[in-house]
Amino acid sequence: MSTGFLRVAAVTPKVNVADCKFNAEQIINQCNSLCEEKVSVAVFPRLSLTGCTCGDLFRSQSLQNGVKDAICAIAEASAQWDMLVFVGAPLCADGRLYDCAVAISGGCVLGAVPKCVIARDQYRWWTSGYDVDTLITFGDYEFQLSSRLLFKVGDAVIAAEVGDDLFAPIAPSTIAAVAGANVVVNLAAEVCNATNGEDIDCRIKAASAIQKSAIVYASAGYGESSTDYVFSGKRLIAECGQIVEEDFDSDVRDIDLDLIAYERGAMACDMPQIETEYQTIYSGVNVGDNAELARFIPVNPYVADGLKSGNICYTALNIQTEGLMRRLEAARCRSLVIGISGGLDSTLALIVAVHAFDRLGYDRKGIVAITMPGFGTSNRTHSNALELMQRLDVTIREIPIADAVKQHFDDINHDINVHDVTYENSQARERTQILMDIANQVNGMVLGTGDLSELALGWATYNGDHMSMYGVNAGVPKTMVRLITDYVANIGEQFDAEIASILRDIIDTPVSPELIPTDDNGEIAQKTEDLVGPYELHDFVLYYVLRYGFSPRKIFLMAQNAFEGIYDHEVIKYWMKVFFRRFFTQQFKRSCMPDGPQVFGIGLSPRGAWAMPSDATAALWLDECESL
C-alpha cells in the first residue's frame, strides 16, 4: 500500500557557460547520487546544459551540437536510474530556437516542453512554444516538443514549465492542473537581488494554492556569467499554498500526493473545463515507500511553524472569544455559569469568558464560576481554581459534591468502595446538574469546557461534562489548550504576574478528571494520559484523520519521523489503535454535542464539520494498524 509520498530533488549544480560536456557530467554525477537516496523526480535549472547566460552563442551550431551530445549522454546514463530527470536545454525545431525542459528517463528522451512566455529582451533568441507540436530527432532519440505534455510517475502527473511561465496571468501549468497535473516542475534562472526573494516565495506559494499542486522550483546559480547579474540558485518546494522547504541543505524532499488529492477533492466546485488535449507520457519509474522521510514532519501540526505560534494562539483565542460574544448577544444573555476544576480546559474557558465579557462591556460578576470538589480533587487544583477565580474578579461559588454523590450511591445501591465507571460518572453528572440548575437560577447559560481531543476520544461523561449550552473549547485540541494558556500567561497585557504564575502552575499540573481519590500524599492519582495515551500523539493522529483523511499506515510513517527519539514504533502503534477504537465507538457522543467554534480548520461538529454515523465500525482502520 502506497503512503502517497513522492521523493523529488531540486538541484542547482555548478555550470560552466557553454561547456555542455562539463555540465552534462555534473548532472550525471548528481543523478547517480540521487539514485542512492531513492529520488523519483530530479529537477535541474533552466538551460542547465549550456548555462542561461550564453547570449548569442545560443545560435551557434557548435553549441547546438554540444547540446545534442549532452542530452544523448544523459539519456544513456539514465538507463541505470529509476528516476525521471528534467534538464534545461535550447532546442532547435523548424529553424526556431526554444528554451526547453527536457524529460529523460530509462534510457529515453520522453519529451521536451518549451517556454511559452518570452520576455521582450529575449525574443532575440527564443520563440514562444505555446503552439508548437513537433517531433525532434537526433542520434537514436525521437521525442515530442510540445507545451501539451504531461509525465506520469506513480500517482504523480507532472507538468513541466520554464521560468516566468509560472507567473503569467494564466500560467501554462494552471491549464495543465485543470487537465490533471498535480506536480509542477519549474526550471528557472532567477536573477538574484536584495529585494526579490520574498516576492518569488509569495508567487510560488500563491501558484501552488491556486493550482492545488506541488511546485518543485530549481533556479540557476553558481557558474553562470556574472557580467551583469548574479543568479540566486534558489530551490523551493511548495504544496497547496505552503512552502515545504526552501534553500535546503539537501537537494531531496518528499512531497505529499495524498494531501494534494484531498485538497482537490475538497474544492467547493468543479474545476473549469478547458478544451485542451494533453499527451500523458509514462516514465516507467517505480515509486517506492521510504521509512525515513526526506521532509520535516512537525510534532504539533497545528503550529507547524513554531516561529508563528504566538500569532496562531492569538488568533485562536480571538476566534473563541468572538464566537462566545456572538452567542451571548444572540441569546441576550449576560450570565455565564462555568465549572472550574483547576485544570487546563476550564482555565482556558474561563479566560475566554473574561475576554468576551470585557469586550462586550459586561460586568465580570456575571460569570458565575463554580468549583465543585469531590473524592479526587487535589489540594493543588482546588487552590489554583479558587485563586484564579479571585484574581479574575468573577462571582465565586464552592459547592462540594461528596455528600450528594454518596446519597446517590445509596439511592442506586452502589458500593462507594468500587471505583468503577459508575463511581466516576456519577460525580461528573452531579457537577453538570449543579451547573445547569444554577444557570436556571441566574438566567444564564452553561459554558462547556471540553476540548477537541476529548471529543475525539469520547473522554467525557455522556450527559455529564459532555453537555453545555456552548462548548467554547470544542475546536481546540488539548495540546493547543496548553499552548494558548501558556501564551496568555506570557503576554502579560491583560493579566497580572500573580495570574500568570497560577496559569503556569495549572499548565504544569497533570491532566486528570480527578474522579478517583488522591494518593496518600494528596496528589493526583488518576492521570488521563496514563489511561488513554499521550495527547500529543492523539492530536497528531486526529489532525491528519480530520484534515486529510489519511490512512493509519501513512499517519504511522509520519508519526515515526515526527516523534523519532520520543516514542518508539510499538508505542506509537499501540496508542494509534486506542485512538481509532475510541474514535469510532464514541461517535454517539459527538452526534449530539453542543455548538462550539471551529478554531483550527478541523472539527467534530455533526452540523457540518464531521459527518459520521454512530454505527460505523473501525475494523478496516484497526486491521491496518495491526499490519503496521
Residues 6 or more apart in contact with residue 202 via CB below 8 angstroms: none
Cα gap 111→68, rounded to integer Å:
14
Contact 245, 204 (CB under 8 A): no
pLDDT at 420 over 80: yes
Average pLDDT, the chain: 91
Contact 449, 465 (CB under 8 A): yes
Predicted pLDDT of residue 530: 86
pLDDT in tens, 302-314: 997 666 788 999 9
Predicted pLDDT of residue 227: 61
pLDDT at 479 over 90: yes
pLDDT in tens, 250-279: 678 999 999 999 988 876 445 555 656 889
Rounded (10°) angle between helices 421-441 and 402-412: 120
pLDDT at 327 over 60: yes
Higher-pLDDT residue of 195, 90: 90
**Residue keyed to cell 526526506:** 294
Helix (H) or strand (E) holding 233: none
Cα gap 191→234, rounded to integer Å:
10
DSSP 266: T
Cα gap 65→18, rounded to integer Å:
11
- All three cell numbers of 293: 522521510
Contact 11, 218 (CB under 8 A): yes
Output the CA–CA distances (angstroms, integers) from residue 488 to 90, 311, 355, 382, 388, in the order listed: 58, 12, 11, 21, 13
Cα gap 439→446, rounded to integer Å:
6
**Residue keyed to cell 459508575:** 422
Return the CATH superfamily for domain 5-269: Carbon-nitrogen hydrolase (3.60.110.10)
pLDDT in tens, 210-254: 899 999 999 988 877 666 677 878 899 999 988 886 555 567 899
| Mean pLDDT score, 475-504 | 90
| Mean pLDDT score, 196-210 | 82
Predicted pLDDT of residue 271: 53
pLDDT at 517 over 80: yes
Q: Is the pTM of this model over 0.85?
A: yes
DSSP 288: P
Cα gap 307→295, rounded to integer Å:
18
pLDDT in tens, 287-301: 888 878 888 899 999
Q: Which CATH number fits domain 301-532: 3.40.50.261, 3.40.50.620, 3.20.20.140, 3.40.50.720?
A: 3.40.50.620
Residues 6 or more apart in contact with residue 573 via CB below 8 angstroms: 556, 625, 628
- All three cell numbers of 91: 532546442
pLDDT at 196 over 60: no
- Which of 285, 296, 295 is closest to 253 using CA atoms? 295
pLDDT in tens, 34-46: 999 999 999 999 9
| Mean pLDDT score, 544-562 | 95
Residue spans of the domains in the chain: they are 5-269, 301-532
Share of the chain above pLDDT 90, in %: 73
